[in-house]
Amino acid sequence: MLDERDRKILSLLQEDASLSVGDLAEKVSLSISACSRRIQRLEETGYVARRIAVLDRDKMGVPTTVFALIKTAHHADDWIETFRKAIADIPEIVEAHRLTGNYDYILKVVLPRVEHYDVIYKQIVRKVELFDVSASISMEILKSGMAVPVDYAR
């Protein structure tokens, strides 16, 4: 069971995972050892899945975002696994979701420029049969992040 201090620790770690235990302890009014034990427990119980560095996309040379909306005529488990394998090794595809509604999948693709999308498209269609693919170019990022709400955690 999480308490308010656990939630505050999780929120702070989401904002900046490089904070020292001392800084975290001070911000949540705990001793360093008590805070350290809580962090260890949150990691061991899976609340903290991993700690990562978020890179600047402009500096990394991939400022363009394209969302590829995919329809397929195939819904069998073996096709889904083939599709999963086809996209797994393409680093430009940073997210993939199976959807309800008019499209079956959406891919978030980060690219050096929009023209590079064709390279990614061809990599996918060489490996798996698709019924329809529609792409939309992101014009502006209005909100971005990986932080999730902590108030719902049990």
DSSP for 72-105 reads -S--SHHHHHHHHHHHHT-TTEEEEEE-SSS-SE
pLDDT of res. 1: 87
CB 115 within 8 A of CB 66: no
Domains present along the chain, CATH in parentheses: 4-44 (1.10.10.10), 58-137 (3.30.70.920)
At 12, list the tokens.
């702070």
What is the average pLDDT value for the chain, to the nearest integer? 96
Chain segment 20-65, per-residue pLDDT in tens: 999 999 999 999 999 999 999 999 999 999 999 999 999 999 999 9
- pLDDT recorded at residue 154: 84
Q: Pairing state of beta strands 132-137 and 105-111?
A: unpaired
pTM here?
0.89
pLDDT in tens, 57-75: 999 999 999 999 999 999 9
Say if CB 30 and CB 38 are below 8 A apart: yes
Per-residue pLDDT of 90-146, as tens digits, reads 999 999 999 999 999 999 999 999 999 999 999 999 999 999 999 999 999 999 988
